[in-house]
Amino acid sequence: MKIDFLYFEDCPSHDQALARLRQVMAEEGVEAAIAIHKMETETQVQAWNFVGSPTILIDGEDIDPPPPGTPAALACRVYRWEDGRISPLPSPEMIRRALRSRLHREEGDS
Amino acid sequence: MTLRIGEQAIDFTLPCTDGHMHSLSDWNDRPVLVIIFSCNHCPYAQAWEDRIIDLQAQFKPQGVKFAVINANDPVKYPADSFEEMKKRAKAKGYNFPYLWDEPQEVARAYGATRTPEVFVFDQERVLRYHGAVDDNFEDSDGVQHHYLRDAIAALLAGEEPPVTETPPVGCTIKWK
């Protein structure tokens, strides 16, 4: 499993998001390495189609796919949690669901 | 340089989403004035938005006035344009003026850097609290320290705010 963590320094809670990702991975028994990418330039933003910080990709798929047409930008990202709350960070359940979905697909492939 | 605790509020006149111009002096009779630099697009601003609306409602009977200022560059962040501000103020039912600091002069004069960033002034318009709304942007039920609420309550009671400064937590103001 390939996990990419993309962040923009101006958004202050990326450390918290990374810690949350590591915590949920540990809880789910996922031992994959996390590739951390600091977004600094417009070139990077476009290359990654970065829609905001933090963004977590599992095998290239966003754990919370943004609506089509969401512009790529050096910005902080809005996550809407399962209970309707707005947060700058993905919820643990959001991360967990994405990891489990990928694990199930891997099981189906093998 | 950020406005420091004990310093006077700096006057301004800015356009508002309500179609009027508003100045600091409009609220001279209010016992406490809360100025918050915020915006539309920032998730931190959105996360705290309902709590800010609730606090204004809670303290309205005591005459406390909130005013929220957006200074972000709308060219870089179109979601923070004046038109989008009007839409958000209406959609969310803002119970405070939502002001547009297009030249960014007010934000610079106050030394604001983040959205949201709170400045609380007493009756004499002396800065008595500066920083975050509270200590938990994710979970209003998990808040341990209600910095803004407690500062307002203390000033209304003629007391010192229990905490006068905290680091503002949020997106950076998007300068031109």
Q: pLDDT tens for residues B13-61?
A: 999 999 999 999 999 999 999 999 999 999 999 999 999 999 999 999 9
CA B165 – CA B128 distance, rounded (Å): 9
Asked if A76 is an interface residue toward chain B (Cβ–Cβ < 8 A), one would say yes
A108 confidence band (pLDDT: 50, 70, 90): confident
A32 confidence band (pLDDT: 50, 70, 90): very high
CA B160 – CA B128 distance, rounded (Å): 8
Q: Name the DSSP class of B15.
A: E
- State the smallest CA–CA distance between residue B42 and chain A in angstroms: 6
Selection from A58, A108, A61, A55 nearest residue A79 by Cα: A55
Q: Which residue of B has its CA nearest to A83?
A: B139
Residue ranges of the domains in chain B? 13-18+38-172
Architecture of domain B13-18+38-172: 3-Layer(aba) Sandwich (3.40)
What number of C-beta contacts closer than 8 Å exist between A and B? 38
Sheet holding A3-7: strands in order across?
Answer: A34-38, A3-7, A55-58, A61-62
Q: What's the pLDDT score for residue A104?
A: 86
Q: What percent of chain B has pLDDT over 90?
A: 98
Q: What's the pLDDT score for residue A110?
A: 65
CB spacing of B47 vs A76 below 8 angstroms: no
For B43, the closest of A10, A73, A77 (CB atoms) is A77
Which secondary-structure segment (H or E) carries B110?
helix B105-110
Selection from B156, B94, B92 nearest residue B120 by Cα: B156
Picking from B38, B39, B46 by the largest number of A CB atoms within 10 A of its own CB, the best residue to mutate is B46
CB spacing of A12 vs B46 below 8 angstroms: no
Q: Token digits for B26?
A: 């409009």
Q: What's the pLDDT score for residue B165?
A: 98
Q: Name the DSSP class of B8.
A: B
Q: What is the pLDDT of residues A65-102, one digit of tens each?
A: 999 999 999 999 999 999 999 999 999 999 999 999 99
Could you tell me the end-to-end alpha-carbon distance of chain A, in angstroms, rounded to an integer? 14
Q: Which residues of chain B have pLDDT under 70?
A: none
Q: What is the overall mean pLDDT for chain B?
A: 97
For B46, the closest of A10, A13, A86 (CB atoms) is A86
